[in-house]
Structure 1
Amino acid sequence: MRIIRYLNGNSDIVLAAVTDENKIYPLPFNDFMDIIYEAKNVGLTPLNYIYGLISGKESLQKDLCELNLLVPIVAPEVWASGVTYEKSREARNYESTDKATGSETCYDKVYNAERPEIFLKSTAARTVGPNEPVYLRSDSNWQVPEPELGLVITKEGEIVGYTIGNDMSSRDIEGENPLYLPQAKIWKNSCSIGPAIRLSETVENPYNLQITCRIYRNNQLVVEESANTRQLKRKYDELISFLIRDNQVFDGTVLLTGTSVVPPNNFTLQDEDRIEIEIPEIGILSNHVKSLVQRTVTK
């Protein structure tokens, strides 16, 4: 069972359930977390609660591709995990200025350390959903998507759903100096999530999810890479435990779990590219790429 948000013909935001048969049922809520709250109130799992709501109801007479999909949850914050896959460590080492020394880098250290790398990636105002543009920084010449599994969590750290995230990254900025990480990761429309949230109880094994990234240029496929969450070094509960430790986390927070899908080192995104990130159990998150025009500051 998946949960989506979409804009109907009256420009109203609708929350809906999507069954495994791709039947769509509008729900009487505005936010994904409302389902979680109400299910707990009546002592049911979210899945059983939703089945009770849609039982005997007619499904929407539209296909998913016909809907104007929105970000599936207005996450108050999106956090991200770094260097959680071997491929990510290799990529960070390649772009780092420390690679010429042959010595252990900060990325080697964090990959092997007890404490994972956790950083604030985005806020609700900076996060976009399916089919919205993601932007390129005007001061970076090496930018890539980072396809990731996202955990939708409560303030206590309970995983209530899974979604897809695109952690857009400026590899040249991060490679110049790790202290530039916020600038390499956070800017306008630098994070997308969607197209749906898969209820956590309906995922048999979250450590066996295939993630595929495709990048199209002039309608031609130029990059296609895949990985599986079984390659993840750290467990989800471990990442969450460090996120919520001595930290105020809000219901509906999304934690991205790191990437093992990295485009070739000679690749950088361009204006008008299209990025597709697919996890079959969740769907396909598609975003066009747009350049951010540097604004002139007048005194």
Structure 2
Amino acid sequence: KGAPPAEAERLAAALDGLRDSVREMVSQALVLYGREETENLRNEILRNAPLARLERRQVEQMKALIRAIARRLRERYSKPRKRQRRGHLDVRRTIRKNAAWGSVPFLTAWKRRHRDRPKIVAICDVSGSVAQVSDFFLLLIHSLHEVVDDVRSFAFSGHLIEVSDILDKQEPETAMREIMSKVGFGSSDYGNSFADFEKRYLRSVTPKTTVIVLGDARTNNLDPRTDLLREISERAKRVVWLNPEGRMGWGWGDSEMPRYAPFCNVVRQCATAKQLERAVSDIVAAYQ
């Protein structure tokens, strides 16, 4: 049963008072800090704010923060490495190279450690239920196209399309608008979208590929086609699922996250900019 009207009013008034107190405390803190410290504090608060519950005035601030995160990723991982891993001494080649000096090892030869070139396939849910969050996902995927040579990206609501060319050739904001106009804001159908991917693009997944799925795994009670995710997982190096919902919501209602999770190597909550930055950074760093 609901609370009596008088008690409900008192609770609502107390909640409003608490909100006002928090706003006042934050405002006072911002006044106390200098301009740089104020910006750092504001960004730190924003980094930990739930992406799906931002107020309208915060959305543009968050986009600016995500662009800064993308810029840091580019600066950190796009620079050519000055030193390569030399690996172990190659004794036979070293002896041959120094034959003219009586095999005195003036010159050394090393066995280079082979490192696979990164291959990433990103599959992003842009349906209505995650439309606000998917904006931020797409901004980070755009940065992957600038950091990693071999990236193919896909977006879906009820069906899936490839968006690699859009992300490669256009600025982030323009790319996001075009992608959302083509396939965004619809009713999500993971099963049908995985079927589109399996039919047209499965060959792009190899034992060197990391597949990143960004979405809430909510299927509108349609067939989730976990068999197709299993097939993708069997072909890939690894599957990473980044879910913008809190873990407490996984498996409730039409969430199929518990059924998808066994076919993923990594499943992470990415409900905030901080979590999203850490997840994408870890994925890219694995190839360094």
Name the TM-score, length of structure 1 as normaliser: 0.21
Which structure: larger Rg? 2
| More strand as a share of residues | 1
**Which structure is richer in relative contact order (CA contacts within 8 A, separation 6 or more)?**
1
Name the TM-score, length of structure 2 as normaliser: 0.22
